[in-house]
Amino acid sequence: MRRGDMAARLRRDGGWWALLLPAFLLLSVFYITPILQVLAISFTEPEPGLGNYQRIATNLSVQRVIWTTLRICTITTALALMLGYGLAYAITLASEQARRWWLLCVLVPLWISVLVRAFAWVTLLRRQGLINQTLQGAGIIAEPLQLVWNEFGIIVGMVHYMVPYAVLPMLAAMREIEPRLLAAARGLGASRGQVFRQVFFPLSAPGLVAAGVLVFIFSLGFYITPAILGGGRTLMVAEWISLQILDLIRWGLGTMMATLLVVTILVTLAVFSRVVNMRRLFGGA
Amino acid sequence: MSATLGTGSLELRGLAKRYGEFVAVQGADLMIAAGSFLTLLGPSGSGKTTILMMIAGFTEPTAGRLLLGGGDITALPPEKRAFGMVFQGYALFPHMTVAENVAFPLRVRGIGRAARDTRVRATLDLVQLSGFADRRPAQLSGGQQQRVALARALVFDPALLLLDEPLSALDKKLRAELQEELRALHRRVGRTFINVTHDQEEALSLSDEVAVLNHGRIVQKGAPAMLYEHPRTRFVAGFLGKSNFLHGVVQGDGTVQCGPWRLHHAAPPAPGTAVLLSLRPEKIALGQAGDNAIEGRVLSSAYLGAGHAVVLDTPIGPIRVHQPAWRAAVDPAIGTTISMAWAADAATIVEDDDAPG
Amino acid sequence: MDGIYRPGWVGRALGWGTALYLVLPLFIILPVSVTDQRFLSLPHEGISLRHYAALFAAPDWFASIAQSFWIACASTVLAVGTGTLFAIACWRLNRRSTELLRALMLLPLIVPSIVYAIGLYRYFGWWDLLDRFAGVVIAHGVTGIPYVVITVSTALASFDPRLEQAARGMGASLRQVLAWVILPRIMPGIVSGAIFAFIHSWDELVIVLFIASRDVFTLPRRIWDGINENQDPIMAAVAVLLIGFTTLLLVVDMALRRKRDT
């Protein structure tokens, strides 16, 4: 009876399972396999063992790049959350008409090429850039400021990239807050600050955490913006890996760092999946 | 031009469905004659929709078999059974016109455009929607959508038409109209109709036969009048219409001792038996003589146009009486004590299962 | 919320400030692109379209644009074809195992491109797919699937599953249900997914840096070299055109969504 059931179920649903196959095969052969290979190489080259991982404890360059990355990512996440929260708050409380324009301010930067955005910041921030020229022309500064090709430039560019990613989950959480609650709290005698602290903020907190997780894990492996705005002087993990593989041909060290990066991201997600609804974060059905 | 399967009676043999620990349907046995109109009636959660979904093939039974004209169809997927079905909420394709919706079953069978158009037109005529062929479902009223769903289910001449709460989304007046139409349609097409509803009036007025369900079990099956007049259990009596329930014990002389009264009953069981009598409110006459006559004080009285709904306080608890206005012999003013009476064959002895939900 | 409760001045200032921070740097490129100077700067004497003219006269820029366009088209077809069927099957089967598969399919959004890029660098060496059109299409196609899966899943969430049952019950085969009932209903979601998969491939740089070198030289790759090597105002012209193109695609997507919602 049980086996008959199984056969009947397979006959019934077999067609649907077949529809899963093309995407699944493509992902397995051309995505999962190359990535698993990266993980494997970190244990096998230059010689089998944990040699590459011992470098975390001994190698100063490895330690410096990890430290730099964590520091920049933390600052970026904090700033992106602060700015994004303000923007999401304004969008949530805006009228239907205004909301469309606010949303466009978030979505257009989100989808415009990261290269174009980094290029815009270079144009603005470099020594002969628009900001330095304007300030010098106005006589405010005598010497051009060093605004780019350092950590400051990286953070300005990264926060610019990450704010839209921070806004979207927070907006989703804030849109669910019943507006009459806020009006009711005001009506009950709460000041504007009290309404925000005691009603709005606690209700929007899950969105804040989700946004924080999203921005932090995206920042960790970020390549293009730090590479362009850091000018090769401040290295973050992704550019460092690229350097190991393409220029120094040190596959073992590069893949070790890549493995560390993936593990850090997956662990962060796993830890926060208890707090944050990940399915919603990535558009669940 | 018949459906893919032979016609004939549909038989459920011990059909059961469990979801883990939860038993949705337990061992349903049912024989549905070809061409009849059967209604599965029960409160929500009684398993009626699960049975319909198992007949349609969308839900796999955990145990039991399903036979059509003697052939086993238990393992057949829904598209091979090809029963006509009217879904709850109709499930019309919103991106297709009325005609395209109705043509869909013909299109999937590879029937040519010309033959398709003829059949679609004839079927739309059948449900009186000839002028609406090019509308979209969203542009139709609830009643019209319901007819499109019917036309779509009937257009390929299926052996069996399954209706899942077909009238529940409509208002009361429209519902009554469509009940009559559905009944006429059944006579015209001569196919087996299986209907699911929680509305007892709809079940009584539409069907040749009604199967009453409770807690996943078929409690009683029969013609509407038979079920109403001779409910087998307290649940059936209470779910189909209203009823007074009187506890009593059969005496040596064949009367039933009920509180202070000895009541006459047409067919009493052996003396000493404890019985539960079901007595319909409309079978009690106020201020008249009869086999059983008792007195009560009027607790409440509501005028309903066609009659009065009166509740009387008696030593065996409150008793409801339904009195046609034209026959009102006494004025049931609150607080007055009046007499009431009923015939010896008016009450039915029922099994005491749980109270209706 | 429509004016029931308005933000105070702190909230308003922070909101406006952030919006300007997001948008202004992008607008700065427009005057820079019409500068009359030979280097990146605001126009001095007057505006000039010489850098746009130079862009359209440069065959290598044009070749890169064409190549990026065809790669984006091909990888979009790959991502939409497989991703749509995948999302539909997950939606229909709807059990724990398919939920897990769906989560797996989102990996390319979570794992940094740099990790995938170095993996492909070695892996494609074996397959002889380095510096090949097909190689880039496969890489962009696979990483584009999550966008399609997300938008199609979202479209399916508002799809009444009884429509599929109704079609099945009337004798429709799987292919007929797909072609006549499901696909027409979720078309806006599929188009959305296609737009995002296209933009993803069109802008993708990190993977291309590793698996392509000479024969495949996409637009982002050329811009990257441009930013790193010279400060030619042609770059500003390219950037303006890209911003215009992306905004156009987004407006199309927004219009489609509005149509779907009404």
Beta strands B307-314 and B317-324, pairing class: antiparallel
The pLDDT of residue A284 is 39
The set of residues, in sequence order, having a beta carbon less than 8 Å from that of C200 and lying 6+ positions away, is C140, C143, C144, C147
The two tokens of residue B108 are 């999937």
C233 contact A CB<8A: no
Q: Which residues of C touch A38 (CB under 8 A)?
A: 115, 118-119, 122
Chains with 3 or more CB pairs under 8 A to chain A: B, C
- The model's confidence at residue B357, banded by pLDDT at 50, 70 and 90, is very low
Residue of B nearest to A1 (CA): B63
Minimal CA separation from C151 to chain A, in Å: 8
The two tokens of residue C17 are 């400030």
Minimal CA separation from C38 to chain B, in Å: 56
pLDDT tens-place string over residues C28-38: 888 888 888 87
Q: Which residues of B touch C162 (CB under 8 A)?
A: 87-89, 91
The two tokens of residue A161 are 């990239």
Secondary structure letter of residue B14 according to DSSP: E
Determine, yes or no, domain membership for A2.
no
- The Cα–Cα gap between B115 and B118 comes to 5
The pLDDT of residue A36 is 95
- The Cα–Cα gap between C149 and C85 comes to 9
- The Cα–Cα gap between B91 and C102 comes to 27
Residue B177's identity, in one-letter code, is E
The pLDDT of residue C91 is 92
User: Is the Cβ–Cβ distance between B62 and B18 less than 8 Å?
Assistant: yes
Determine, yes or no, domain membership for A7.
no
The mean pLDDT value of chain B amounts to: 88
Mark yes or no for CB contact B91/C163 under 8 Å. Answer: yes
Q: Which residues of B touch C176 (CB under 8 A)?
A: 107-108
CB proximity under 8 Å: B 4-63 to C: 4, 56-58
Of A12 and C119, more confident: C119
Three-state DSSP state, B13: strand
Q: Which domain covers residue C167, as residue numbers?
A: 59-261
- The Cα–Cα gap between A256 and A251 comes to 8
Q: Which domain covers residue A115, as residue numbers?
A: 25-281
Minimal CA separation from C25 to chain B, in Å: 44
- The model's confidence at residue A1, banded by pLDDT at 50, 70 and 90, is very low
Residue A258 has its nearest CB partner, among C15, C115, C138, at: C115
Strands of B84-86's sheet, edge to edge?
B84-86, B160-164, B192-197, B37-41, B209-214, B217-222
Mark yes or no for CB contact B85/C180 under 8 Å. Answer: no
Region of A49 please: left (phi>0), alpha (psi -120 to 50) or beta. Answer: left
Element (H, E) at B23: strand B22-32
| Bridge partners of residue B311, in order along the sequence | B300, B320
Residue of B nearest to C160 (CA): B91
Within 13 A of A182's CA, how many CA atoms are on the CB side? 27
Beta strands B160-164 and B192-197, pairing class: parallel
Mark yes or no for CB contact C168/B94 under 8 Å. Answer: no
Q: Which residues of C touch A33 (CB under 8 A)?
A: 123
Within 13 A of B330's CA, how many CA atoms are on the CB side? 18
Determine, yes or no, domain membership for C36.
no
Q: What is the largest CA-CA distance in chain A?
A: 89
pLDDT tens-place string over residues A93-138: 888 888 888 888 898 888 888 999 999 998 889 888 888 888 888 8
- The Cα–Cα gap between A171 and A173 comes to 5
The pLDDT of residue B48 is 93
| CATH code at position A236 | 1.10.3720.10
Nearest Cα to Cα of residue A73 among A205, A214, A256, A171 = A214
| CATH code at position C222 | 1.10.3720.10
Q: In terms of DSSP H, where are the helices of B9-67? A: 48-56
User: Is the Cβ–Cβ distance between B286 and B332 less than 8 Å?
Assistant: yes
- The Cα–Cα gap between B224 and B204 comes to 5
Three-state DSSP state, C250: helix
CA distances from residue C247 to A158, C199, C254 in whole angstroms, order as listed? 21, 11, 10
Look at chain C and report how many structural domains it folds into. Answer: 1
Mark yes or no for CB contact C82/A22 under 8 Å. Answer: yes
The mean per-residue pLDDT over the stretch C213-217 comes to: 90
pLDDT tens-place string over residues A23-71: 999 999 999 999 999 999 999 988 888 888 988 888 898 999 999 999 9
- The Cα–Cα gap between C136 and C218 comes to 10
pLDDT tens-place string over residues B109-131: 889 999 999 999 999 998 889 89
The pLDDT of residue C135 is 95
User: Is the Cβ–Cβ distance between A91 and A99 less than 8 Å?
Assistant: yes
Mark yes or no for CB contact B60/A5 under 8 Å. Answer: yes
pLDDT at B192 over 90: yes
pLDDT at B339 over 80: yes
C190 contact A CB<8A: no
Nearest Cα to Cα of residue A109 among A80, A66, A143 = A80
Cis link prior to A46 (omega < 30° from 0)? yes
Mark yes or no for CB contact B60/A11 under 8 Å. Answer: no
Q: Which of B36-40, B149-153, C3-7, C118-122 has the lowest mean pLDDT?
A: C3-7
Determine, yes or no, domain membership for A12.
no
Place of tokens 């005028």: B303
What DSSP letter does each residue of C25-45 carry, written as one string? Answer: HHHHHHHHHT-SSSSSS--SS
Secondary structure letter of residue B354 according to DSSP: P
C165 contact B CB<8A: yes
Minimal CA separation from A17 to chain B, in Å: 16
- The Cα–Cα gap between A68 and A174 comes to 33
Determine, yes or no, domain membership for C130.
yes
User: Is the Cβ–Cβ distance between B200 and B43 less than 8 Å?
Assistant: no
Determine, yes or no, domain membership for C184.
yes
- The Cα–Cα gap between A207 and A275 comes to 10
Determine, yes or no, domain membership for A193.
yes
Determine, yes or no, domain membership for C47.
no
The pLDDT of residue B355 is 53
Beta strands B160-164 and B84-86, pairing class: parallel
Mark yes or no for CB contact A4/B77 under 8 Å. Answer: no
- The Cα–Cα gap between B222 and B231 comes to 10
User: Is the Cβ–Cβ distance between B24 and B50 less than 8 Å?
Assistant: yes
Determine, yes or no, domain membership for C118.
yes
Look at chain A and report how many structural domains it folds into. Answer: 1
- C219-229 vs C234-261: helix crossing angle, rounded to 10: 140
Q: Which residues of B touch C172 (CB under 8 A)?
A: 79, 104-105, 108
The mean per-residue pLDDT over the stretch C37-56 comes to: 83
Q: Which residues of C touch A153 (CB under 8 A)?
A: none
CA C117, chain centre distance (Å): 18
Q: Which residues of C touch A37 (CB under 8 A)?
A: 119, 122-123
Q: Which of B59, B88, B104 best probes binding to C when mutated, by most C CB atoms within 10 angstroms?
A: B104
- The Cα–Cα gap between B211 and B220 comes to 6
